[in-house]
Structure formats: structure tokens, C-alpha cells
Amino acid sequence: MRSALRGLQRLPSHVGLAYEAWAPVGLVDGKVAPRVVSDGAAQWPERLRSIAVDDDYVQAFSRWRDSFGRDACVQPVETTSRLLVGHGNAAATDVGLTIHHTWGVPVIPGSALAGVTAHYVATELGAEHDPEPLRHELRGPKYDDNGVVIGPPGELYGRLFGVPEIAGQGAGRRGELVFCDALYVGGQPSLGLELDVLTVHQSDYYASAGKDPPTDHCDPIPVSFLTVGRSVQFLLAIEGPMALAELAMRLLLDALERHGVGGKTSVGYGRLRPVKEPASATATVAGREAQPPAVKRRPPEPGPELQAFLAWLDQRLEGEVQRTVLADVEVSWRERIGAASLEERVRGARALRKRITNRKLLPRLDALCRAIEA
């Protein structure tokens, strides 16, 4: 197949196919040798940046986005640095990139999003011994020196990410949430791919698995590879109980902004931030206008009890610290809001989550909102 692809006069229309199978790499003993320079190798990665998004992707993205119901929390985000997910995938450059198999657009796997969020919660928020009870509930699993799980995670951590199987303590269980793949937002002008270079300075040392010493006389070998550039938008989606999904989304956004996702995060790669206005998914494609997104039902006007709560909350937050306001809600408003209808309780809890933004209060805030919505 590789020989047939070399005969093409133009690039394949799918970036993944072009990046993984069409690469003009050299051959040694009939095997692909990524670092053997061949004709066209220098210009090849740059040419891949010209591949356009498929005309029908806008409609496919719109259908996928509109498939989420009321049991899902969605949030558009954009890259603030280069993004390199799937760098360990098979690729002619030895540096892979995760591309949607059908549409040929960048994608962030849900497993990667769940993993970075779980790591962020366990290392930043959870604590095995802490006077705050919910920080104890957010602690991660306990491991021995060999990486074997010997202790269960906290209750809230288990609900978010699941509980691993522990020898002698019964089977594990899955979490209550589904972290969906983050798809490239339809309607953007390009795929946003950018070139990067990894220069190997001690090739003999790496090729011999450390048997040859790293020396300064080895020729440096620059390897060009593709990354996702800045200001490229993706849509995050988490399915599950709404209160839990909204908490997980806030944790995920913090993790993406502070820790990053994918490879090379230690040098600043993989950072994303929320955007208020996603790229338009309605565009003129191949001479026709893509279908606009479905019109969502406008929520009814809040009842007197909810109106009073929202007015009180906004007024108190103007002059009080958030910890004090949260304590007042627990004492004064929890029972009053709890007597309202389910929709009013959900809207009240959602308003509280939007206004209380102190990260240290997240576990306590989630417990209060769950109690209000119960």
C-alpha cells in the first residue's frame, strides 16, 4: 500500500492516512526506517498542513453535539499552547498524533481526559488525612512501592472515576460518569496543525539502549512532526448524573489549564481553556448551508423562592467572602430551596456552582448541591 500511495499526484484527504501511511520514509531490509531520509521527506510534514476539513464534517459535528441530552455537561475549550496527544502512536516520524479515524480531524480521547482529571484530583484536592471531610473523600487509591493498589479511594473519587479491584477486598466498580472524546469543533477555518521539531543528539546511545555512551560527536538528527496549534477549539462532554457531571467538568477544566493533557506537558504543551463562544457550526459548505443547531427550550421564569435565593446570593457575594456565603446557604437556605420543585432545586444548585468559584470549596460545594438536588 505504501508503494501505491507514493504514486499519488496529490495528498490523501485524510490527515491520519497521510501522516501514518503516506510518509515518504526510507526502507532498510524491507522495513520502514523513519530516520532514513528519502525524497520529499523534508517538505512532507509541511504539505500535510494544507489538508482541509471534510465538507460534511460540520453537519456530522452538529449531529454529535445535539445528541447530548439533559444528562450531559458540555463545554467548548480552545488550546492555549501546542497540543500533542497520542505521541506514542505508530507514525513514520516516530512521533504520533491522535486523529479521528473517520473524519481526519484532531481528537482528544475521553480516556486521556478522565486520566488527567483523576490525577489532578488525587494530587491537588484529595488528602488522606485532612480536617475537611470531603478532601478525604477525594483521595485517590493507595499504592505500595511496586505500584499495586492496597487501599481504596475516597467515596467521591470512586463515584467520579471508579474503584480499582483490590486483592482480598472484593471487586472494583466503574465510576458514574462517561468522559466522551473531545471532538474538534466544526466550522473552524483549518485543522490548525503546526510543525514541531525533535532533535536527537545522541542517536547511537538511544539505538543501543544505553550500551554505547552518549557522546558529543554524534550527528544531531532533526525529526519534524505535527502538533495541534494554538486557538483550536474542541468540545468537552461528560455524561452522567448532572450534579456529578458538572463537578467533574469544573475539575477537568482546572486540570487542563494547570496540568495539561497529552505529551510534553512539562514544557507547557496540552493547555486548554474554556471559551464562551465556540466556532460556528453553521457554515456554507460545498455550495449549501449546513443545518443550524437545534433550538433549545427556554427555561421558565424562576419561582418566588428561587428568585429570592438568587437575589440574596448576588447581594451577599458583593461584600462577603465565598466561604462565609456558603456557610450561610447551608444554615439558612438549604431547607427552603429543598422544598421547591426538582427543576427549581436543580437551577438553584447550578446557580450556586456558577457563583462559588473558590477551588478549595469545591468538595463542600458539591456536597451541598447534591443535598439540595436530592
Residue 262 DSSP label:
S
Q: Span 119-125, mean pLDDT?
A: 90
pLDDT: which is higher, 16 or 36: 16
Q: What is the pTM (predicted TM-score) of this model?
A: 0.70
CA distance linking residue 368 with residue 363, whole number of Å: 9
Q: Span 17-40, mean pLDDT?
A: 59
Instruction: Report pLDDT for 327.
Output: 86
Q: Burial level of 4, CB count in 10 A (0-12/13-18/19+)?
A: exposed
Instruction: Report pLDDT for 288.
Output: 39
Which of the listed ranges 34-38, 166-170, 192-196 does the model predict with the highest average pLDDT? 192-196
Q: 233-239 and 182-184 as β-strands: parallel, antiparallel, unpaired?
A: antiparallel
Could you read off the pLDDT of 210-239 as tens digits, one per residue? 788 887 777 777 777 889 999 999 999 999
CA distance linking residue 120 with residue 114, whole number of Å: 10
Could you read off the pLDDT of 281-336 as tens digits, one per residue? 443 333 334 443 343 444 556 667 777 788 878 877 876 788 888 888 888 777 77
CA end-to-end distance (rounded Å), the chain: 58
What percent of the chain lies above the pLDDT cut of 70? 81
- Residue 135 phi/psi, 5-degree rounding, is -65, -35
